[in-house]
Structure 1
Amino acid sequence: MNNVILNIFDVESEAFQSFNELKNFKQTENTKIAQIALVQNVEGRITVKDFYNFVDSANEEAFKGTLIGALIGIIGGPLGMLFGASLGGLGGLTVGTSIDTAEASLVQYIANKLPPNETAIIALVEEKDEEVINALFSKYKTQIIRWEAERVADDIVAAIKVQENLYHQAQVELKAERKKERTQKVQEFKDRIKKEFATLKSKIKI
């Protein structure tokens, strides 16, 4: 099963320690890790503190084109903030818990469940046994939540479309506002011209 795993830490230092340990993960036939990212909510915006691409670790730019890179790009943008404001809390999750993705997409969940200063690890994994990954985090105070990678990919594509529509809508509204401002400015010039000629007319001696 290809999964995207979200691991939310109660202690920030443990998140960094766990991330460094994951970078040295030995791939096996049953468990493979493709990408990991350490993220944190900094003043209401999800930011990347560190990342690692097991497939191409030497190319930092390659991360932006990965599934996790695209996910973080969405979460860190205006759409992520919108989801965070609109989605109700989802509590009571523990290590290894899976949630119904019909209830919330990963984009929505991270935006809603990662409050200011909280830290998390997001990973793309192929796993035949979930207990392997669970065991890696068992010594930390964490929540582990899984989504099917294919579903996350669908959500990202849909989110990108929504983001594009929001951008287009903003451009239309901005254009309309500029037109309104221009119309108002033209009217101001007309009123001023009318006033100026009225003033001149009052000064004409008949």
Structure 2
Amino acid sequence: MEISLLVLLFIPYLIIKYYLTDHETKAEKDLKRFEEGVSLVKNGNYEEAFAFFDQMVKANPKSAVAYALRGKCNLHDENYYSALYDFSQALSFDNTLADCYLDKGKAHMAVLEFKEAFREFDKAVWFFRNVNPDALRLRGMARLRMHQFVQSERDFQRAMELGDEDARVILSQAPFNHTFVVK
């Protein structure tokens, strides 16, 4: 009798607690907090965005979003090693940022670190649930640089199925153009 009464009182407590609890992730909260800087990045004002996120990193040294967006500015300005540092810091605080893996892979590609780029693009593909054509195409490019032609072709085909025209162009070129005859 006492146990059933306790259970009956505990269920409403759980329901009320669920509705009163904030369900936003830290990254979602940070994106709202840094809305000014996010709009600067979206509008292509990378110099101002860098200054904004540099301040945010100093004020919020454990913000994955601040590091990721400062890294995006560094990537745009071709400061690849600074970008890699920022992306690594961001992912150390929140390892679920799919865009951060994508950008980190781009930085690795820019400094000709293809295995590392592949690893980052592979994580991006996984976090995007295999439906982001950019992640698939870029993973295919990294594989192509590592001479993994069959796997690379599969990535390009999947990206093409998702509507990526760049993947279509790459597939039409060698080594994927199967019009030649092997003897």
> Common fold, TM-score beyond 0.5?
no
TM-score, normalization: structure 2?
A: 0.32
TM-score, normalization: structure 1?
A: 0.29
Q: Which one has the bigger strand percentage?
A: 1
Q: Which one has the bigger helix percentage?
A: 2
Structure possessing the higher radius of gyration over alpha carbons: 1
